[in-house]
Homo-oligomer: A and B are copies of this chain.
Amino acid sequence: MANDLLKRKKGIIFGALDEKSIAWKTALKCYEEGAQLVLTNAPVALRMGEINKLAEQCGNAPVVGADVTNMDDLKNLFQKAMEHFGGGFDFILHSIGMSLNVRKGKHYTEMNYEWNQKTLDISAMSLHKVLRTAWDMDALNEWASVVALTYIAAQRVFPDYNEMADAKDLLESVTRMFGYYYGQKKKVRVNTVSQSPTRTTAGSGVKGFDSFIDYAEKMSPLGNASAEDCAKYIALLFSDYTRMVTMQNLFHDGGFSFTGVSEKLMS
């Protein structure tokens, strides 16, 4: 299924680590829908080299490394992207999250606060930095669309999600705040997509993830949404069909978010 939804659209995809990544699948989907892309990830992630495969499959999209907490890196990335595109562009996917406290198995009540500051910076305030770089360089075209990936732990407690719950809350707040300003200034919309738990390489880091995926599958009337489904949904949020949707958190989860308990789970 492809419908030229993104013909003549250009955008940057942050966070494609490997084939399981939602960002990876979103890049492929956007390309399939007619978009031109620039790919980016943290320098350390680029060194793994997988992203070059993706770049080839996306019409030899440029790959530019950038540490999302570093304003100079972001400026460099946006400059290269604007050179490549010959001007402004139309969408950004922010699929970025990292928690040292989760990785190192620190319990929420015993978190290392320096690591926490990094988590908030990389996973949430990075969206501010990305948007602000675009704002300062006037890099986004009118009616551009920015999507960040989030998770329902921002609304309700899922204990294993740890400090990433706080980070996602912060991310959703930045989405609303910057969305307000960018909407007023240049009709740019900013939304989050709150996706089902997904078996990505990043997701696997979370303790008890497999049994939780199973729980969510039983709870969701349509089952869990796959990474491919999510990629399709994001592509559409970059299209002109969704121009008036902004500052929203959009659940893409098979109905999990509004199911209190399911018969499957109780039996």
A251 interface residue, CB < 8 Å from B?
A: yes
Contact of A180 among B157, B248, B251, B253 (CB under 8 A): B157
Bound together, the chains give a CA A156 to CA B220 distance in angstroms of 12
A254 interface residue per 8 A CB criterion: yes
Instruction: List residues of chain B with CB within 8 A of the CB of A170.
Output: 120, 166, 169-170, 173
Nearest CB in chain B: distance from A96 CB, A: 16
A-B contact pairs, 11 of them (CB 8 A): A71-B113, A113-B129, A154-B173, A181-B221, A184-B263, A184-B264, A232-B240, A244-B254, A245-B252, A248-B257, A250-B250
> Which residues of chain A in 155-207 are interfacial with respect to chain B, using CB atoms and an 8 Å cutoff?
155-159, 165-166, 169-170, 172-174, 176-184, 187, 189, 196
Decide: A215 and B245 in contact? CB cutoff 8 A.
Answer: no
Tell me if A82 counts as interface (CB < 8 A to partner B).
Answer: no
Q: Which residues of B contact A232 (CB under 8 A)?
A: 240-241, 243
Interface hit among A1-9, A11-19, A20-28, A52-60: A1-9
Decide if A260 is an interface residue (CB 8 Å cutoff): yes
Residues of chain B lying within 8 A (CB to CB) of residue A182: 221
Q: Which of B154, B176, B225 contacts A157 (CB 8 A)?
A: B176
B251 contacts A248, CB within 8 Å?
Answer: yes
Q: Which residue of B lies closest to A4 (CB)?
A: B3
Residues from chain B with a CB closer than 8 A to the CB of A76 are none
Contact check: which of B111, B178, B254, B259 meets A128 at CB < 8 Å? B111
Chain B residue nearest in CB terms to A151 = B260
Partner of A177, one of B121, B157, B211: B157
The smallest beta-carbon distance between A224 and chain B, in angstroms, is 8
CB distance from A93 to the nearest CB of B (A): 16
Contact A108 B181 (CB under 8 A): yes
Known: A5-B3, A240-B1. A221 touches B116 (CB 8 A): no
Give the residues in chain B near A102, CB-CB below 8 Å: none
Whether A137 sits at the interface, judged by CB under 8 Å, is no
A260 and B158 contacting across the interface, CB-CB below 8 Å: yes
A219 CB → nearest B CB, Å: 9
Contact of A187 among B222, B239, B264 (CB under 8 A): B222
